[in-house]
């Protein structure tokens, strides 16, 4: 699997963008919790339990969706290294 489209089924029903909610920033469906806030918490080393306590409207599946989303985004955004032609 490659790119965000291949993974969209794993997060597409949990992470949404709506111009009427948080200015269109990605949030978790049914909440106003920004994806970037959860990703920043995970990057800072916060535990799943701490994040879920801070945002009681989230479920463990939302945290997994955030990680899948970030992985798919990184997969699309990182350039493929060019291998030098050795002759």
Specify which residues 87 forms β-bridges with. none
pTM: 0.75
Give the pair of three-digit tokens for residue 80: 């493929």
Is the pLDDT at 3 greater than 60? The verdict is no
Distance between CA 22 and CA 19 in Å, rounded?
Answer: 7
Q: What is the pLDDT at residue 78?
A: 65
pLDDT digits (tens, 9 = 90+) for 16-50: 999 999 999 999 999 999 999 999 999 999 999 99
- Of 49, 25, 29, nearest in space to 37 by CA: 25
User: How does pLDDT run across 54-82, given as a tens digit for each residue?
Assistant: 999 999 999 999 999 998 888 776 677 77
**CA distance linking residue 25 with residue 38, whole number of Å:** 13
Phi/psi region, residue 47 (left: phi>0; alpha: psi -120 to 50; beta: rest), is beta
Q: How many whole angstroms separate alpha carbon 50 and alpha carbon 79?
A: 34
Domains located in the chain, CATH noted: 3-75 (1.10.10.10)
């Amino acid at each position: 699997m490659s790119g965000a489209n291949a993974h969209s089924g794993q997060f597409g029903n949990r992470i949404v963008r709506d111009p009427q909610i948080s200015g269109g920033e990605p949030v978790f469906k049914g909440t106003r919790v920004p994806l970037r806030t959860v990703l920043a918490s995970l990057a800072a080393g916060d535990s799943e339990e701490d994040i879920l306590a801070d945002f009681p409207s989230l479920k463990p599946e939302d945290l997994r969706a955030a990680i899948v989303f970030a992985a798919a985004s990184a997969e699309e955004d990182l350039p493929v290294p060019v291998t030098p032609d050795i002759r």
